[in-house]
């Protein structure tokens, strides 16, 4: 049980699978009830949360749509009556050379990764303010702190997420709300194992091994490597930490 976690309510976007699903399982084990907001079916994650003895709700939601986020907010409010923790984990990372990147490609990545983070946070901060307690955790990426190719829109979106994390932290601090980010390294997830490898790699397995060789801890990262950081950042123990980005990447990015 995390300190201060018992019977809190979290909304985790992108929790139908991958890192978001691991986050949902861990927060449930910490004592938190969890709403899963995802474009995909979240039933598998609901089972994981319920197996940990907590209440769960899955809502189909496109975080890049204002209407969809508003409807999700109403459903979560009806079911739980409050939201204490927001985890903005929904994200996409299409590997794409800049020469082929259209404005539509750019907008799609920015609208899900950055606008979505804004919309979901904005939906729940007023309730946190009223109760004088809240935790917002955003998903950054080690790509922002290292040299990478084929992800200009994605890296820009994650730089925006880090900027939003820092900017919002000051605005809500007086209301007992902290805002932090987690920056994973390349992590084996349903999304990465099927994505197009970067030029120079025959397949994603080669890319996982190559990135791991750049880390201090030389094995590929998995979603469970990230859950401890989330548990800490959403607990009472992290009450004096805000506007920060935690690198959880096996020691690749040093900053």
Ligand X SMILES: NC(=O)c1ccc[n+]([C@@H]2O[C@H](COP(=O)([O-])OP(=O)(O)OC[C@H]3O[C@@H](n4cnc5c(N)ncnc54)[C@H](O)[C@@H]3O)[C@@H](O)[C@H]2O)c1
Q: Is 225 near ligand X (CB under 6 A)?
A: no
Which of 2, 4, 18, 160 contacts ligand X by CB under 6 A? 18
In the chain, the N- to C-terminal Cα span, in Å, equals 30
Which of 5, 29, 35, 93 contacts ligand X by CB under 6 A? 93
- Best CA proximity match to 156, nearest among 193, 108, 214: 108
Q: At which residue do the structure tokens 């030389």 appear?
A: 218
Angle between the 66-80 and 116-131 helix axes, to the nearest 10 degrees? Answer: 30
List the structure tokens of 80: 């739980």
User: What is the DSSP code (8-state) at residue 97?
Assistant: -
- 12 DSSP β-pair partners: 36, 87
Q: Is 89 near ligand X (CB under 6 A)?
A: yes
Q: Is 13 near ligand X (CB under 6 A)?
A: yes
Residues in contact with ligand X, shown as a per-residue x/- string from 59 to 88 under the rule CB under 6 A: --xxxx------------------------
Rounded-to-integer distance, Cα 35 and Cα 115, Å: 20
Binding positions for ligand X, 30-59, rule CB under 6 A: 38-40
**Cβ nearer to ligand X, comparing 17 with 26:** 17
**Cβ nearer to ligand X, comparing 172 with 181:** 181
- Best CA proximity match to 46, nearest among 79, 69, 71, 21: 21
Q: How far is the CB of 164 from ligand X (least distance, A)?
A: 13
Q: Which residues bind ligand X (CB under 6 A)?
A: 13-14, 16-20, 38-40, 61-64, 89-93, 112, 116, 139, 141, 184, 186-187, 189-192
Q: Report the catalytic residues.
A: 154
């Amino acid at each position: 049980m995390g300190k201060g976690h018992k019977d809190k309510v979290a909304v985790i976007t992108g929790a139908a699978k991958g890192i978001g699903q691991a986050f949902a399982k861990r927060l449930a084990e910490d004592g938190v009830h969890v709403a899963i907001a995802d474009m995909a079916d979240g039933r598998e994650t609901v089972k994981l949360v319920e197996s940990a003895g907590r209440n769960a709700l899955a809502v189909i939601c496109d975080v890049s749509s204002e209407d969809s986020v508003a409807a999700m907010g109403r459903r979560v409010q009806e079911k739980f009556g409050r939201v204490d923790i927001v985890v903005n984990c929904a994200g996409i990372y299409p590997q794409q050379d800049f020469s082929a990147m259209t404005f539509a490609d750019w907008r799609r990545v920015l609208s899900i990764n950055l606008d979505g983070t804004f919309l979901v946070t904005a939906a729940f901060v007023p309730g946190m303010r009223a109760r004088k307690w809240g935790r917002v955790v955003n998903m950054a990426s080690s790509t922002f702190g290292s040299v990478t190719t084929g992800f200009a829109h994605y890296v820009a979106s994650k730089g925006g997420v880090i900027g939003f994390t820092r900017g919002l932290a000051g605005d809500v601090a007086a209301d007992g709300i902290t805002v932090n980010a987690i920056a994973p390294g390349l992590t084996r997830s349903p999304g990465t194992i099927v994505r197009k490898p970067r030029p120079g790699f025959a397949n994603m397995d080669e890319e996982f091994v190559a990135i791991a060789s750049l880390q201090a801890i030389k094995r590929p990262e998995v979603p469970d490597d990230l859950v401890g950081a989330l548990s800490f950042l959403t607990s009472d123990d992290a009450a004096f930490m805000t506007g920060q980005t935690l690198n959880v990447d096996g020691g690749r990015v040093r900053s």
